Amino acid sequence: MAPPKTLLDKLWDAHVVVPETADAPAVLYVDLHLVHEVTSPQAFTELEARGLSPRRPDRTKATLDHSTPTLPAATDGRLPYASAQSEAQVEALRRNCARHGIELFDLGDARRGIVHVVAPELGLTQPGQTIVCGDSHTSTHGAFGALAFGIGSSEVGHVLATQCLLQRKPRALAITIDGELGPGVGAKDVVLHVIGRIGVNGGTGHVIEFRGSTVRAMSMEQRMTLCNMAIEAGARAGLVAPDATTFAWLAKTPRAPTGEALDEAIAHWRTLASDPDAAFDQEVRIDARGIRPTVTWGTHPGTALAVDQRIPAPADGAETKALAYMQLQAGAHIAGTPVDVVFVGSCTNGRLSDLRDVARVLDGRRVHPRVRMLVVPGSEQVKREAEAEGIDVIVRAAGAEWREPGCSMCIAMNGDLVAPGQLAVSTSNRNFEGRQGPGARTLLASPLTAAASAVAGVVADVRELETAATEAA
């Protein structure tokens, strides 16, 4: 009998062109190559310098997200780019795609958005695939049972030229989460809790497979939030085995197979699960019932704590420095910290379900006068669907800004900045020094916590807001 395999083993084995040896990594075939404007210009330049053209332009898809303004064009039709460099990146991608016959979801295209939001919603992302992109949060696509890696700029060039990637096989880490989530607790809280528990290097060298009843009960959006942040635990990728939830999502997408082809695909996708007795290199078990709304206090995503906890005493010099940068006091409650900016968006939490959470909190309430709140849909589709439900109206009525899709304040490359020293509660995935602008302080949170904090003007526990609302009713 064949030895039991993990999902990682199955995905890996199905894509190895040349096995790895002691001296050389494996050559792995890539099914889908996603491209954005920041990490592709050099790769195309290199390709052309060698007189090459893309091996599989049909398996390469491009979108514009990082450098695109989230404010509409001025009356003269010009978009308010943050810099000449941003505009040049956009133009370079347009030129490169046109020259090489690569499909681009350009500005104005109804399918454009953050790369990790658009590929899943179009059904480009499918179980069993290998997916790469010159972007660390490519791990998001693992939520569909695809082996999805972030790669560097030079690797973008390799993949363009060969449709293959040199890789050593990562180890397998099972994170099993069981039990029902409490009120006000979502996938973001779960993943921040997990990173708090295993640390920002806890997944190094591994692919994390998220398993257990909590994960099985999650929507695709929630699973994407989990896998998105697998990289913040140091992992190469995240994975969730595909199931009926996955197939139902794909059946609604324009690019997934249809009819008999879909049935055949599903029959194959069902085999993409770790065998019952497959051995993982490492295993972690988490009780979901113990997870509360979770935020960060420091300058990396591992500095997680429940929103009702006190900021811990610094364990080392790095933590002392982080506390100083964040202008926070050890021993103080994190809840109640004054907030200047709230950002809702990004490939972590810029999907329709996230915006629904935000609208649920903002409906009939006002954003605190001290707070500037930006709500940025992850894609044109998310924006359209949210507007069809009136979410934009609720957001604006509450005093928040409703913007055009893109990465926006998650990385602040497009001019959407948090001012020096300001504290932002952000639904994105990185709270590094200066991530949202020079001197900006970032506290990572779920959409529910972000919205509750926007209303309160301080870091807030959404459970208290919702209890107060129930009592008032």
- Give how far Cα 63 sits from Cα of 95, 103, 134, 348, 420, Å: 13, 9, 12, 17, 30
Show the DSSP H helices in 137-284 as ranges.
153-162, 187-198, 213-216, 220-228, 244-251, 259-269
Task: Give backbone dihedrals phi and psi of 249, rounded to 5 degrees, phi first.
Answer: -60, -50
Kindly tell me which residue out of 42, 136, 245, 353 binds ligand IPM, with binding defined by CB under 6 A.
136
- Interface residue with ligand IPM, options 135, 209, 319, 416 (CB under 6 A): 135
Asked if 139 is part of the footprint of ligand IPM (rule: CB under 6 A), the reply reads no
Report the candidate in 435, 404, 402, 441 with the shortest Cα–Cα distance to residue 420: 441
Do the annotations mark residue 164 as ligand-binding? no
Cβ proximity to ligand IPM: between 137 and 236 the closer is: 137
Q: Which two tokens stand for residue 309?
A: 């906890």
114 binds, among ligand IPM, ligand SF4, none (CB under 5 to 8 A by kind): ligand SF4
> Using the rule CB under 6 A, which residue among 11, 38, 160, 341 binds ligand IPM?
38
Is 97 annotated as ligand-binding? Answer: no
Q: By C-beta, is 70 or 303 nearer to ligand SF4?
A: 70
- Give dist(CA 285, CA 279) in Å, integer: 15
The mark string for 330-359 relative to ligand SF4 (x by CB under 6 A, - otherwise) is ----------------xx------------
Total of residues contacting ligand IPM (CB under 6 A): 8
Kindly state whether residue 66 participates in binding ligand IPM, applying the rule CB under 6 A: yes
Nearest residue (CB) to ligand SF4, 26 versus 90: 90
- 347 annotated as belonging to a binding site for a ligand: yes
160 sits near ligand SF4 (criterion: CB under 6 A): no
- The number of residues making up the chain comes to 473
Backbone angles phi, psi at 305, to 5 degrees: -150, 155
Site residues for ligand SF4, 108-137, by CB under 6 A, read 114, 116, 135, 137
The answer to whether 379 contacts ligand SF4 (rule: CB under 6 A) is: no
User: What's the min distance (Å) between Cβ of 429 and ligand SF4?
Assistant: 5
CA separation, residue 342 to residues 242, 323, 400 (Å)? 33, 20, 9
Alpha carbons 212 and 82: distance in angstroms, whole number? 44
CB of 36 to ligand IPM, least distance (A): 8
Interface stretch with ligand SF4, choices 49-57, 283-291, 355-363, 405-413 (CB under 6 A): 405-413
- CB count, 10 Å around CB of 80? 12
Residue 157 and residue 194 in contact, taking contact as beta carbons nearer than 8 Å = no
386 touches which of ligand IPM, ligand SF4, none (CB within 5 to 8 A by kind)?
none
> Is 33 near ligand IPM (CB under 6 A)?
no
Could you tell me the sign of the dihedral formed by the alpha carbons of 359, 360, 364, 368, in that order?
negative
Q: How far apart, in whole angstroms, are the C-alpha atoms of residue 214 and residue 35?
A: 32
Q: What are the binding residues for [4Fe-4S] cluster?
A: 347, 407, 410
Q: What are the binding residues?
A: 347, 407, 410
> Which stretches of the chain bind ligand IPM, using CB under 6 A?
38-39, 66, 135-137, 150, 411
